[in-house]
Amino acid sequence: MNRTDIRMGLPSKGSLESGALDFLASCGLPVRKPNPRKYQATIPALPSLKVILQRPGDIVVGVRSGSIDLGITGMDIVEEQRTAASDVLVLHDALGFGRCTLELAVPEGWAEVHSLGDLAARAEALSGPLRVATKFPQLTGDYLGANGLPGCDLISAEGTLEVAPEVGYADIIADLVSSGQTMRDNRLRTISDGCILRSQAVLIGNRVSLSERPEVLAMARELLEFSEAYLRAQGYYIVVANMREPSAQAVAERMFAETELGGLQGPTISRVITRQGQEDMCAVEVVVPKERLGQAVNELRAIGGSGVVVSPVSYIFEEEPERYVALLASLEIQGE
């Protein structure tokens, strides 16, 4: 029987869970979980969307099978299942949380091993194949094979990998690293060129659902709209100031002569009505990148700006979400 509901999988535990909930709340899409013991939730701003809390790996499986339509999970899991996940589309590849790297790590006692070349030399000296414990055998095997280390014995493991070299069932490991403290505590270290993948949280969707169900495609657009608007805004501030000048055009010409006062499209300039009825004052408002805020404020002061106020930007909405346009192209759907 065909489903009529729209389902989205969210991580049910760990840093990806808290990251996803915080991210969606920041996007104006807070998740409501009425019963903390149940793995179902809602997003009040998107009442037609049913939220299911799952393990990150199960989210990829669910999207691939079509049992759920959309999901947030880690790019590492998506890439590990890439060959089997042809129906999984990455709708947004950089949600800005859950950042980590998949790294090769060797025992601290392997003092001569600092690179893949050193690792290959060490492997040749072993009596058998290099044993690598990992939860990502596909990514790890492909990386090792492409870097002069084919034929390694990949040992799939679901528990704590850091103890594998110590107890002797593997020589090295390939595991996710965020701070690296756990590896250091277990006397392991990464090598200079041993980064297999840089990962973070991504938004994924089922190709068939997106192609054949307009309501799922519309939901994807909503999620991309708010995600992109929030993420884009994180890089900007709004700067407001007063300038003693009766002509808005003259103010604009002064601002355009500076390097950081052009704004996204241009500055907004309006008349200030003072209590004394003076008409020689304008208010200017401009959006500037965070990394160039100091220069923009200095330029504004240099051309007569006073009473400068700086505010964070919550959202910047474009006419059409960039990644939604890319999604339509990948589905070969004509934009409206």
CA–CA separation, 107 and 167 (whole Å): 12
Same domain, yes or no: 37 and 186: no
pLDDT at 85 (0 to 100): 57
Tokens of 255: 């601002």
What is the domain extent for residue 108?
A: 100-198
Q: Per the domain annotation, does 1 fall within a domain? A: no
Whether residue 300 is contained in a domain is answered as yes
Q: Please indicate, yes or no, whether residues 158 and 174 belong to a single structural domain of this protein.
A: yes
Residues 106 and 189 occupy one common structural domain: yes
In a domain, 261, yes or no: yes
pLDDT at 1: 46
- Residue 227 phi, psi (nearest 5): -65, -50
CATH code (residue 147): 3.40.190.10
Residues 84 and 216 grouped into a single domain: yes
Task: Kindly list the distances between the CA atom of residue 155 and the CA atoms of 4, 42, 136, 137, in Å, as whole numbers in the listed order.
Answer: 41, 39, 9, 8
Closest CA to 260 of 215, 305, 227: 305
Q: Give the CATH number, domain containing residue 260.
A: 3.30.70.120
Mean pLDDT by 10 residues, the chain (336 residues): 88 94 97 87 97 96 95 96 81 96 96 96 92 96 94 88 91 92 92 96 97 96 97 95 89 91 89 76 93 94 94 93 94 70
Cα angle 221-63-206, degrees, rounded to a multiple of 5: 45
Answer yes or no: do 112 and 194 share one domain. Answer: yes
Query: In this structure, are 281 and 207 located in the same domain?
Result: no
**Domain membership flag for residue 336:** no
Q: Choose the final residue of a domain: 142, 173, 198.
A: 198
Does the residue 12 lie in any domain?
yes
Long-range contacts of 292-295 (CB under 8 A, 24+ apart): 292/260, 293/237, 293/239, 295/259, 295/260
Residue 18 has what pLDDT? 95
C-alpha–C-alpha distance, residues 65 and 26, integer Å: 30
In terms of domains, do 23 and 52 share one? yes
> Which CA distances in Å does 220 have to 123, 205, 213, 328?
47, 8, 11, 11
CA neighbor of 64 nearest in space, from 84, 49, 90, 39 = 84
Instruction: Give the position of tokens 């013991």.
Output: 37
| pLDDT at 37 (0 to 100) | 78
For residues 193 and 118, membership in a common domain is answered with yes
Query: Does 178 share its domain with 263?
Result: no
Q: Are residues 20 and 87 in the same domain?
A: yes
Number of domains in the chain: 3
pLDDT confidence of residue 152: 95
